[in-house]
Structure 1
Amino acid sequence: MVPKPKFNRGSAVEVSIEPGSWFPGTVVRWASQDKLLVEFGDLDVKKPIVVHLHQLRPVPTPESDDWHLRTGDKVEAFWKQRWWEGYVSKDLGNGRFRVYFTESKEMVFSKRKLRVRRQWINDKWVPPIIYQQLKNYKELFRELKMPRWETRLENRRNWISELPDCILLHIMSFLEARDVVRTCILSKRWKDLCKRVTTLKYILPSAQTLDSFKSWIFSCRDHSCSLFNLTISTRIQQGEEALYPLIEYALFHNVQHLKININPSFRPKSDLLPLISVSHSLTFLKLSYGRNFGVAVCPKSLRLPALRTLYLKYVNFVATHHHYADPFSNCHELNNLVLRDCSLIQDAKVLCISNNALSSLTISSVAAQQFSLSTPNLKSFTFLGSFVFHRLLSSTCNLSFLQQVNIDGLSYIHKEASTFLRWLQVLANVKILKIGYSLIQTIQNVSYFNILSPLYFDYTIIWVFEYVIC
């Protein structure tokens, strides 16, 4: 049994009721094993509400007096009795900053109403890399110039090795794993530094080197350090299960970004995604299989409470009920979803995309008879592939926030005109509709549509349609 976090009655907390914002509140009591009753003193919410643990975090420690802000810093701004996620777009001087929010809105805040954006993962705050960590080393960076050619080699200082650990570890995060390990031979200063990197990239074709990589991680790496980012891109011969120990290690060490791109020489098993589904810290997942080696099977329901971005390629979906596959409804923080070359198998016919937080959706060459959207906050929708309008599209909501739709691929619209009209009905609230040139050429020959005027031309064309529903 997972122990309860230390949220007691009267504890000051912050609650994520809406994506991208945090409401201050107070714990009233535990409602169940993973839910708490929280009240909000300064909001219009008159009665306490029950929230899940993944929606809850303690109140962060206030920033220090010497906290410095710069353009591009990720922050949270206090506005309308809650903290909103954004980033600094401009320093206006005199302690005032312009902050850009994900809703395409900019506002000006004083420094006292801003704080560093942090994540609460496994009972620990995870702050982003901040520029003020570098401010004490400005003089050192100015001196990182090549000495004059007359200077004797033995008199030159090792400027790189004098950088602080946090800077060196950040630089090493851009290297492949084998190059990270090789730094240990540079000097005593570097001997143990590679053991504390929080980003590892394994991009090698050999199964033998995969065994060496696993051996180094399990025997040499500092296990007290989190492993926030793991990338694996390889052709493996031993079987997909050869990766499982690495994945389990990363999950145990609070992995946040996980990228797996493999070309197994066998038919994949269905254990990898269920294994990943136990993570409560994962915010980004990209899983891609090779074209010629079959596809993996996704669980009926993914349960990744912190996941914000999901990319799946060559993955199959199975039905959850009555020929409907609905795998994403329990990813409550999912913001961006990309599906490429996926299929429905067994008796599944309809792929349901059900998620209240989803704002960006890309579907490319996905084999399904119908797509059903239950995404009230969707802002961007891209659909690519052959026989585009051979597939039905439906929605359980009016998609009132839909900003842009991109459709491209091959289709015989003169045979599927009624389906195309249904698509336009579902997407009636979109502000910008981009249709690929090949589809435009087909549409021009169909008497169902009276094309008024092209608005934009650059590989794709935006058209305004006047259509008659028969």
Structure 2
Amino acid sequence: MAEAAAVEIDRLSDLPDNILHHVLSFLDTVTIVKTSILSRRWRCLWKDVPVLCFQRKGFRSKLGFEEHVNRILANRSHHATVREIRLDYYSSGLSWEEPDAKVFDSVLRYAASSQSPGGMISRLHHLSIRNPPVFDSFYRRFTDVIASICTHRHHETLRTLNMHGVDVALVPMTAASGFQMLTTLQLRSCEFHDPDPFGGFPCLNHLKLFNCTSSPSGFAVLGPHLVDLEIDSPFLSVSDGLIRVSAPKLKSFRFEDQNLRSRGYPTLDLPALDHATIHFHWHEYLLVAPGCRSYVSREGSIRARLNLFGDLHNAESLILCFDSSTEITDQNSPLTEWKSPLMERAASPFTRLKALRMQFKKPSPTLSVPKEVIRYFFGDSFNPLNKSAIIENMDNPFIH
């Protein structure tokens, strides 16, 4: 009997509410609500979870999704604090009805008004808006995303902001008030048009830009408190040497380019840099032919690369990643292309470099690093006892 009683103990339900709320916060709101049927203990737990996670996936119409959101908001506890909102508009192609920003605004309004008797005192710390459908009229309305955040005063408490696929003007709407608490900003497939798009985020520590673009004149990242910056696969219009980065406290920098023979790289001013990762894509179909607007000669690409390495001269560790669709040997290695008079004559810009790692997607077991490349990165006094140059397989590190 004692053993049977022990089996029936529901240890999960015995946990305090705050721990159960934390567990539930990793789920989407539909799943969270379904836990109410488990037992009397779980019947009302979902109403106080401090996370709102709405996903349009699974709803066949815009109206069904809107009704679901409104029903959840109407039945939640109005005194419950909302600390995180995740809103994903991805609809699996089941409905191509033109969406609007009404759901987003109603969720932000609820998060503000439900947290105090008088309303408008935000406790929202994390906000994620993903996959808005690609309709021009939607974009025109959804450029008010920052305005909506500021209207409900969430800009005063937000610490992380993640936006995916939003055409949004950041600075004009944030310059006056600013996101004073925001430390982490991630933009994916977003477009901005101001030359200083991050001026409204004075305390930013971590910035990640994926597949973002801007006006043809490029943009600047001026971050007095930035310590970590990632720029992955910028569109061609902003990869022509038109990205300027000035961050006196930056420790880690990562840049990914879709073409090893790029016409240009970001201009960097990083006096406190410790670690840098540069990811090149080495695919024959990406090497455009002479005559094309994007064509860059071998000499031009090497000059651009030397300028980039010159800007990384403070780094103590450097990772160079080469993503290739074919096996890399000494004959077709991108490192072999670097054995040019330009690089041979160039003095090493690195003053603190101790570790160099070269990662290849498909390296040959006999692949080696040319001595000219070693000399460029470590100077003439290379000593493997206190400095290292390692070839790695991206899928299987340290094969050598």
TM-score range, shorter chain: 0.5 to 0.7
CA contact (8 A) 1:298 1:315 kept: no
Partners of 1:159 and 1:455 in 2: how far apart?
A: 50
CA 1:147 to 1:256, structure 2 compared with 1: closer, same or farther past 3 Å? farther
Partners of 1:177 and 1:465 in 2: how far apart?
A: 56
CA contact (8 A) 2:230 2:255 kept: yes
Letter in 1 for 2:37: I
Partners of 1:274 and 1:440 in 2: how far apart?
A: 47
1:256 is the counterpart of 2:131: no
SS at match of 1:437: strand
Residue 198 of structure 1 deviates from its aligned partner by 0.3
Residue 375 of structure 1 deviates from its aligned partner by 0.6
Q: How does 1:338-353 map to 2 (within 5 A)?
A: 338-345=208-215, 348-353=216-221
* Aligned equivalent of 2:183, options 308, 317, 322: 308
Cα distance per residue 1:236-286 (max 9 Å; x no partner):
544241322123333554211112212414132311133235511111111
The two structures have a TM-score, normalised by structure 1, of 0.58
- Equivalent position of 1:239 in the other structure: 99
Q: RMSD in angstroms over aligned alpha carbons?
A: 3.2
| Higher share in strand | 1
* Aligned equivalent of 1:401, options 272, 279, 300: 272
CA contact (8 A) 2:21 2:49 kept: yes
Cα distance per residue 1:397-434 (max 9 Å; x no partner):
4x221011111224754332322222222222122222
Contiguous gaps of at least 5 residues in structure 2: 92-96, 113-119, 282-286, 288-295, 324-332, 349-353, 362-367, 378-400
CA 1:176 to 1:249, structure 2 compared with 1: closer, same or farther past 3 Å? same
CA 1:464 to 1:260, structure 2 compared with 1: closer, same or farther past 3 Å? farther
Partners of 2:5 and 2:301 in 1: how far apart?
A: 78
Q: How does 1:37-436 map to 2 (within 5 A)?
A: 148=3, 151=4, 156-205=8-57, 206=59, 207-235=62-90, 237-242=97-102, 243-250=104-111, 252=120, 253-267=122-136, 268-269=139-140, 270-277=143-150, 278=153, 279-289=155-165, 296-301=167-172, 302=174, 303-319=178-194, 325-345=195-215, 348-367=216-235, 368=238, 369=240, 370-387=242-259, 389-395=262-268, 397=269, 399-410=270-281, 413-436=298-321
Partners of 2:14 and 2:299 in 1: how far apart?
A: 69
Partners of 1:172 and 1:217 in 2: how far apart?
A: 15
| Higher share in helix | 2
Compare relative contact order (CA 8 Å, sep 6+) and give the higher one, 1 or 2: 2
Identity of aligned residues (%): 23
Letter in 1 for 2:109: E
Residue 377 of structure 1 deviates from its aligned partner by 0.5
CA 1:282 to 1:454, structure 2 compared with 1: closer, same or farther past 3 Å? closer
Partners of 1:201 and 1:465 in 2: how far apart?
A: 53
CA 1:276 to 1:441, structure 2 compared with 1: closer, same or farther past 3 Å? farther
Contiguous gaps of at least 5 residues in structure 1: 1-145, 290-294, 320-324
CA 1:390 to 1:219, structure 2 compared with 1: closer, same or farther past 3 Å? same
Partners of 1:160 and 1:183 in 2: how far apart?
A: 13
SS at match of 1:415: helix
What is the number of equivalent residue pairs in this alignment?
305
